[in-house]
Chains A and B, each alone.
Chain A
Amino acid sequence: MGGSPSGEHERFDAAVTGLGMMTPAGAGTAASWERIREGAGTEAVRMPELAGITTDFACRVPGFDPVAVLGRRRAGQFDRSSQLVLAAAMEAVADSGLDPQTWDGARVGVVLGNGIGGAETWETQHRRLLDSGPRRVSPRLIPMLSANMAAGYVSMEFGARGPSLVTATACASGTTAIGTARDLLRSGACDVVITGGTEAPLTPSLVTGFSQMGALSRRSDDVRGASRPFDADRDGFVVAEGAAVLVLERAGDARARGARIRAMISGYGASADAYHPTAPDPECTGAGLALRAALRDAGVGPDEVDHVNAHGTSTLINDATEARLIRGALGDRPLVTSVKGVTGHSLAAAGAIEAAVAALTLADSFVPPTANLESLDPEIELDVVAKEGRATPVEVVVSNSFGFGGQNAVLLLTRA
């Protein structure tokens, strides 16, 4: 991959040198990637806490033990959204081979996407307030629920004293975070950025809220078949928790220290629909701006995109609209996958999980399948990978994320 075809724009590559994933497909990158490669079904479970809600199932991270990761004393001081992202960050930093004991912390930034913050904490403590009165409310309520604390805690964990912030663009937050992290490397503000996203929204009130919007699948009797992006019988998304973290460095720095580079973040585009609080613009005007900006940023032509890691939520409207966007902007050549068939939709974590998957797709030359895609919606004229993944060389991947509020973010990754 060279620079821009027109030569006016020098491409900036941020190297992905560390990965950490805590997803419904597995606690850890290897476990998550293995299950996503298989694409056998939605990793959802019915939850007793959700009994009585029209949708009483969700995707949880299996086998996640915060006490084992953080110790008994510390685990209780963090909301689950912070527990998940701390675990993912520990895996990612270890994977990068960088040593937080010796790095210059002032040059290390943290940028994480977070949607709702400490939802479980808020709900639990609100119940205590109502049931037992204000004197029973935890003094940790505010630091546990504030959305920014996910990044604050990761900075503390690694002595990272560079810029530390949380991005909130709803379901695009993880992607926005990675794009922003890339910009901190490009500007020279940081030498290393720990970036990604997290969400732990599986509480009765939040799941009820999504359910009342009509956004969720109601397949309680077939939860493994519930998230079915691009399928003719899809009926909504499956809400999920999760976190993923990527360690980014300038490509030259990463090569100079002999780091293992999974992939490059080579382009980023962001935009707003300026159209509607929750519905996508049917003309895809805003989403198209973000996608084309990512291509231009990377100096890549639309016909060079091999694979789209789609937002693909499994709602009727998202998948139909996104398919028109992809078809219009990139044609029908790219292989298209939504990993949400396996993972469900983890909101602010989704874009980070999918960027990690895109990096692994490039590193392994393997495009994972879209789980539960049995009968492609006839209106979707794309090569959506179904049933089995495809082992094929991949040079350029686009990863789409679209948030409520009409906030769009698109990353373009290339092979290292």
Chain B
Amino acid sequence: MSNVYDRLVKLLTEGFGLEADELNPDDTFGHLEMDSLALVELTVAAEEEFGVALTNDEVGPDSTLAQAAQVIEQKTVAV
């Protein structure tokens, strides 16, 4: 898994109280019981961590962690 994925996992464990060993690349945020407010919190935290602006279309309840990492990676490259 990419460096961005690892940093996303770290962000979820440190900022959202999730356990690293319960996180898998194919998990959706909905599966992790992250509600709409938690997803906005995640975009705020990701903007700080990665310096990219995410929307809740890109990171929604049905997005997997791997997909989110991919979006972040693409945006980082684009910047």
Q: Are B37 and A72 in contact (CB under 8 A)?
A: no
Q: How far is the CA of A72 from the CA of B18 in the complex (A)?
A: 8
Q: Is B40 an interface residue (CB 8 A)?
A: yes
Please give me the 3 A-B residue pairs with the lowest Cβ-Cβ distance, nearest first: A73-B17, A72-B17, A139-B40
Q: How far is the CA of A57 from the CA of B48 in the complex (A)?
A: 34
Q: Is B47 an interface residue (CB 8 A)?
A: yes
Q: Is B44 an interface residue (CB 8 A)?
A: yes
* Least distance between B12 CB and chain A CB atoms (Å): 10
Q: Is B41 an interface residue (CB 8 A)?
A: yes
* Least distance between A67 CB and chain B CB atoms (Å): 8
Considering the complex, which residues of chain A in the window 131-187 have a beta carbon less than 8 Å from any beta carbon of chain B?
Answer: 135-140, 143
Q: Is A76 an interface residue (CB 8 A)?
A: yes
Given A139-B41, A143-B37, answer yes or no on A76-B47 (Cβ-Cβ < 8 Å).
Answer: no
- Chain B neighbourhood of A76, CB < 8 A: 15-17
Q: Are B17 and A138 in contact (CB under 8 A)?
A: no
Q: Are B18 and A73 in contact (CB under 8 A)?
A: yes
Q: How far is the CA of A72 from the CA of B15 in the complex (A)?
A: 9
Q: Are A71 and B17 in contact (CB under 8 A)?
A: yes
Residue of chain B at shortest CB distance from A72 = B17
Q: In which size bucket is the chain B interface?
A: 10 to 19
- Chain A neighbourhood of B44, CB < 8 A: 135-139
0/1 string, A13-45, CB within 8 A of B gives 1: 000000000000000000000000000000000
B interface residue numbers (CB < 8 A to A) = 15-18, 37, 40-41, 44, 47-48, 53
Given A135-B44, A135-B47, answer yes or no on A140-B17 (Cβ-Cβ < 8 Å).
Answer: no
0/1 string, A69-92, CB within 8 A of B gives 1: 001111110000000000000000
| A side interface size, CB within 8 A | 13
Q: How far is the CA of A398 from the CA of B48 in the complex (A)?
A: 54
Given A73-B16, A76-B17, answer yes or no on A136-B37 (Cβ-Cβ < 8 Å).
Answer: no
Residue of chain B at shortest CB distance from A137 = B44
Interface centre among A72, A75, A143 (most CB of B within 10 A): A72
Q: Are B16 and A140 in contact (CB under 8 A)?
A: no
Name 24 A/B residue pairs within 8 A (Cβ), A-sorted: A71-B17, A72-B17, A73-B16, A73-B17, A73-B18, A74-B17, A75-B17, A76-B15, A76-B16, A76-B17, A135-B44, A135-B47, A135-B53, A136-B44, A136-B48, A137-B44, A138-B41, A138-B44, A139-B37, A139-B40, A139-B41, A139-B44, A140-B41, A143-B37
Q: Are B48 and A140 in contact (CB under 8 A)?
A: no
Q: How far is the CA of A197 from the CA of B15 in the complex (A)?
A: 29
* Least distance between B43 CB and chain A CB atoms (Å): 9
Q: How far is the CA of A319 from the CA of B18 in the complex (A)?
A: 50
- Chain B neighbourhood of A74, CB < 8 A: 17
Residue of chain B at shortest CB distance from A70 = B17
Q: How far is the CA of A138 from the CA of B39 in the complex (A)?
A: 11
Q: How far is the CA of A147 from the CA of B48 in the complex (A)?
A: 29
- Chain A neighbourhood of B48, CB < 8 A: 136
Contact of A140 among B15, B37, B47 (CB under 8 A): B37
- Chain B neighbourhood of A143, CB < 8 A: 37
Residue of chain B at shortest CB distance from A143 = B37
Q: How far is the CA of A137 from the CA of B37 in the complex (A)?
A: 12
* Least distance between B15 CB and chain A CB atoms (Å): 8
